[in-house]
Amino acid sequence: MKLVTQVKLVPDAVQARAFERTLPAINEAANWVSAVSFEYFRLRGSVRELRKRCYGELKARGFGAQAAQHIIKRVADAYTTLRANIKVGNLGPEHSKRRRKAESKPIVFRPHAGHTFDDRCLSWNYDTRTVSIWTLDGRIKNVRFACSPGALKQLAEHRQGPTSITRSPRLSLLSPNAPNAASPWNSSRASASGLRFPATSEHASPPGRSTSSARSSPTRPNVSACRSSRWTRPTPRSAVRAAATPRRPTGPLGTTSAVVGAASLGPPTTSPGPTSLSEGSRRGYSSTCPVRSPHSAGTGRCDP
């Protein structure tokens, strides 16, 4: 699980104009790369093939080498995600309207969709709370950002990986951090290019509040709660029915017998016979004789 920290950019008038020009231009270039990928490769465009066909044009449009690489990779990842959704059936069966619509046209990115910047395109200065970002007007330094003290500490201690810049409705940065078990944040969604994360989304949830992906279903037990309380699987119904069925009482072999007379049945009589077949066979008792006397052991006959 990766934690995502959201901060808000506070640019001045000149810096804001550069951002307003850069982000729509990046998404427009991504739409062009997506159209080229769909024309030549349908839904199976790879980074290598797209780089051969689109890298020179992106450089001619004013994008840097790293920015052009990110645009190409972003488009290839979008088609990979689309193929995976089609394969698992998230867009319906083969001839469904939704699936045919997704397969019949290239992927389109919104003008202000989020885009990923790595450490070569965006660098942080935590002491002054500023960032340096690449734009089409050149690299802009000392762009201020605002966040809580807890978010700043999270960034300074655990930030790793690329950062996404979004505009919804104001500019903000989404930075994934390293997994930290002791962190008070409880967010399990990571930032992804092409997705819109508004400033009021669940990424900015306060400490101690879990996101929708971490909520437990009311019909099944929470995994973490079960592990902490040593929850065990319920007993099967067959085992419950077997435990509730009464069993006939059994006693040692040859301990109870009834003497049948000519006129009436007498009460049961008890004799200190052997407690098992093996013991009776060692003493010479017969299994068909219910009553034995001690002096008849070994003779093979029954006493009356």
How do residues 25-40 score in pLDDT, each as one tens digit? 999 999 999 999 999 9
- 184 has a pLDDT exceeding 50: no
DSSP string, 26-83: HHHHHHHHHHHHHHHHTT---HHHHHHHHHHHHHHTT--HHHHHHHHHHHHHHHHHHH
Predicted TM-score (pTM) of this structure:
0.58
pLDDT of residue 90: 94
Tell me the pairing of strands 256-257 and 130-135.
Answer: unpaired
pLDDT of residue 117: 92
pLDDT of residue 251: 52
- 302 has a pLDDT exceeding 80: no
| Phi and psi, residue 206, nearest 5° | -70, 165
Report how far residue 278's alpha carbon sits from residue 284's, in angstroms, rounded to the nearest whole number.
10
Domains contained in the chain, number: 1
pLDDT of residue 246: 67
Report how far residue 144's alpha carbon sits from residue 129's, in angstroms, rounded to the nearest whole number.
6
Does 90 map to a domain?
Answer: yes
- 57 has a pLDDT exceeding 70: yes
The string of pLDDT tens digits covering residues 119-171 is 999 999 999 999 999 999 999 999 999 999 999 998 999 888 889 888 865 66
Does 50 map to a domain?
Answer: yes
Does 160 map to a domain?
Answer: no
- 230 has a pLDDT exceeding 60: no
pLDDT of residue 129: 94
Does 33 map to a domain?
Answer: yes
Does 216 map to a domain?
Answer: no
Report how far residue 58's alpha carbon sits from residue 76's, in angstroms, rounded to the nearest whole number.
15
Does 31 map to a domain?
Answer: yes
Q: Assess whether the previous peptide bond of 169 is cis (omega < 30° from 0).
A: yes
The string of pLDDT tens digits covering residues 238-268 is 776 777 776 665 555 544 444 444 444 455 5
Flag the least confident range among 184-193, 218-227, 271-280: 184-193
Report how far residue 108's alpha carbon sits from residue 286's, in angstroms, rounded to the nearest whole number.
94
Does 86 map to a domain?
Answer: yes
Residue range(s) defining the domain that contains residue 68: 14-109
- pLDDT mean across residues, the chain: 73
pLDDT of residue 2: 77
Report how far residue 93's alpha carbon sits from residue 88's, in angstroms, rounded to the nearest whole number.
10
**Range 177-187 average pLDDT:** 45
pLDDT of residue 173: 73
Does 255 map to a domain?
Answer: no
